[in-house]
Structure 1
């Protein structure tokens, strides 16, 4: 049985409630066994079913880095509010860490988009011990917005930022059980900064009302010596711009640049 088939069957047996898309790198002489692995978490506002929306990103990462990529689904609010999504993603990571013959557990990276970026940052700073992950990559993540959804504003007001009522709806659904929005597993601004991985990539968008809080997180992480923190803002881009970018546009160029930053970070570990 191939490695791909083995992983597929084991995930199917263990995680019936969670879908996982598997992206295997091309077979080359340099292909490592056990393989480095990237776990990716899609955006959703913790409410919207969007598993599979990061297909292009996952394909690029597997083809250009030699990593096996697991694109992980998680349960959504309001039917499954916090911490259901965090529990699901934690379960899959624990499964990966328990498979040292298939995955190089010294090269486990995590990534995510929007709400998925929040999960990646929370998992790497609050749930797992320091040094568990070789790097964390987050695209336009939610960092502190649920504390006061009405207080955020995009760096550039000329785009299409989230309406306040949408952010308030996401916050209400995700914290349906009455959780404190300052819980560091929800708002990363309150996390222990010593616990984040040594390599961090944060990509923001100028038209996005979530940009400033992510950039502030990057600035605070840089204050801790010995950490590589890369933060880049994509000008003239809205939240989720990479999912709708058309070839030949500045959004496409920004997407290519952002994804290359992720490739470079993974290959540097």
Structure 2
């Protein structure tokens, strides 16, 4: 960072300030100026040869969907076996603005959640925009959720104990999936874990102005991601399965854990969504993670707050399983 530090700088803890400086040195152009292909190359993540969280078993899966075959990974907590019975599972949907993101990019966080919660974690590679605009990604999530419940017995999973979660764009897809299942009268996930979810397309809450130039995700880049997701051929209004805040009611959705980052353009939207869930009778636990910015949740071993947030997710899942 230069000497003219932004007003939010003192809200970041030491880990976040260090990473923000690295991002500023590495990301010479905004993502919207790089474009999808260059941004994917620059921001792509390759897991280390030795992951921070060792698991005895990670299955690489291919599953059928209306769009063709989808790739996924299933992370089994150690100790899983036929003798222990079927496990609950979390369907995890990665972030990346609907444009970026890979299975590799969330490998460490999926491992950590599985190890700490005792739940299996099913990580999906859904189609990305702009090549595949809305509703392609949501269709993939819908098909994968249905497939997982159908195939649960053979995977060592309890089909009646499947939750859904994700970060950023993945948080959008997780809650949109819940809305779609509710609208169709189909079985809901047992819980939704929403980490700084992108839920509103109005860009009107104060955090959009306060953190317009936040590290990693600026307000302008977030708007660009949204435009890629809708696609150039989109006409008419935006529906609630694209922007969940537009739903007339959130009644009937599963209990939710909502985590936000203190320095994030999306913060106020996500917190307003949590409050709407609460007003509509949905059980909600909402936590603002101090000292960090958008994207921290998947950076295992980088931010101390990441460890705390994963611990909260694990506790939430254990509580769901014990209820």
Does the pair score TM above 0.5?
yes
The range that moved more, 92-101 or 20-29, is 20-29
Query: 1:49-83 CA deviation, whole Å, 9 max, x = no partner?
Result: 43322222211221122221111011011110000
Q: Are residues 1:238 and 2:293 paired?
A: yes
| Equivalent pairs, count | 256
| 1:138 has 2:194 as partner | yes
1:40-189 residue pairs with structure 2 within 5 A? Answer: 40-102=92-154, 103-128=157-182, 129=185, 132-144=188-200, 146-148=201-203, 153=208, 159-160=214-215, 162-176=217-231, 177-180=233-236, 182-189=238-245
Matched, 1:257 2:314: no
- CA separation of 1:141 and 1:31: change in aligned 2, threshold 3 A: farther
Report deviation, 1:172.
Answer: 1.6
- Alpha-carbon distance in structure 2 between the residues aligned to 1:94 and 1:101: 13
Structure 1 residues without counterparts, runs of 5 or longer:
none
Return the match for 1:215 from 271, 280, 283: 271
Q: Residues 228 and 84 of structure 1: is their aligned pair in 2 closer, same or farther, counting only changes over 3 Å? A: same
What residue in structure 1 maps to residue 7 of structure 2? none
- Which structure 2 segments of 5+ residues have no match? 1-56
- Paired with 1:154 and 1:264, the residues of 2 have a C-alpha distance of 33
CA contact (8 A) 1:157 1:207 kept: no
Indicate the larger mover: 65-74 or 27-36: 27-36
The alignment's TM-score, normalised by the length of structure 1, stands at 0.84
Q: Is the 8 A contact 2:263 2:292 kept in 1?
A: yes
Provide TM-score, normalisation by structure 2.
0.71
Contact 2:206–2:268 at 8 Å: present in 1 too? no
Displacement of 1:219 in angstroms is 1.0
Distance in 1 of aligned mates of 2:311 and 2:253: 22
State whether residues 126 and 195 of structure 1, in contact with CA within 8 Å, keep that contact through their aligned partners in structure 2.
no
2:260 alignment partner, SS class? strand
Distance 1:95 1:29 in 2: 21
Shift of 1:222: 1.3
